[in-house]
Amino acid sequence: MAEFQPVEIASLPPTSHQVNYQSAQLSPDGTSPETESPNSSPSLKVLSTLKSPESINSFTFVPYFDLNTESTTLVLSSCKERPIQLSNVLSFDSGHVAQYKLTSPTTEAFLQIHSLLITRDATRFLAASRFSLHVFEAHKVSEGPVQTIPLCKARKQRRFERMSEFGSLLGVISCMAICPTDGLLAVGTFARGVGLYADEGLGDAMGVFQVYDETFEAPGGETLEYSGKGIHQLIWSPCGRFLYVVERESDGVAVYDIRGTGTRVGWLHGRNATSSQRMSVNVSPTAEGHEVWGGGVDGRVRVWKIAGKVEGPVQPSMEWQAHEDPVTSVLIHPSGRSVVTCSAEDWRAKLDAESSEESSEASSDASSDSESSTESESSGSDVSMEASSDAEPLSGPESRLLSISPSRHLAVPTQENVSAVHSPSPSEDERNKPHLGRKLKIWSLAGYSWVMRDRQGIELE
Q: Is 3.30.230.10 the CATH classification of the domain at 2-157+164-355+390-451?
A: no
How far out from the chain centre does Cα 159 lie? Answer: 31
pLDDT confidence bin for 349, thresholds 50/70/90: low
Nearest to 350 by CA among 439, 423, 452: 423
According to DSSP, the β-strands at 223-226 and 43-51 are unpaired
What's the pLDDT at 12? 76
Confirm if 250 and 267 have CB atoms less than 8 A apart. Answer: no
What residues have CB less than 8 Å from 231, skipping those under 6 apart?
Answer: 174, 175, 188, 189, 190, 192, 193, 194, 211, 245, 246, 247
**Residue 216 CB contacts under 8 Å (≥ 6 apart), including other chains:** 223, 224, 225, 226, 312, 313
Asked whether 45 and 405 are in contact (CB, 8 A), the reply is yes
Q: Give the whole-angstrom CA distance, residue 243 versus residue 264.
A: 9
User: pTM for this structure?
Assistant: 0.78
pLDDT value, residue 403: 54
> pLDDT tens-digit profile of 402-441?
654 333 334 444 443 222 222 333 444 443 444 444 777 8
CB 9 within 8 A of CB 394: no
Residue-wise pLDDT for 81-119, tens only, equals 899 999 888 876 666 889 999 999 889 899 999 999 999
Are the C-beta atoms of residues 438 and 20 closer than 8 Å to each other? yes
The string of pLDDT tens digits covering residues 37-94 is: 333 445 567 777 777 777 788 889 999 988 888 888 889 999 888 999 998 888 766 6
Give 304-308's long-range contacts (Cβ < 8 A, gap of 24+): 304/268, 306/237, 306/242
Q: What's the pLDDT score for residue 347?
A: 66
DSSP of 104-153 = -TTT-PBPPP-EEEE-TTSSEEEEE-SSEEEEEETT-TT---SEEEE-EE
Please report, for the chain, the start and end positions of each structural domain, with discontinuous segments joined by +.
2-157+164-355+390-451
Of the ranges 136-140, 261-265, 383-387, which one carries the lowest mean pLDDT score? 383-387
Give the Cα separation of 340 and 344 in Å (integer): 14
Summarised one tens digit per residue, pLDDT across range 218-259 is 777 788 899 999 999 999 999 999 999 999 999 999 999 998
* pLDDT tens-digit map of 386-397: 222 333 333 445
Asked whether the predicted pLDDT for residue 7 surpasses 90, the reply is no
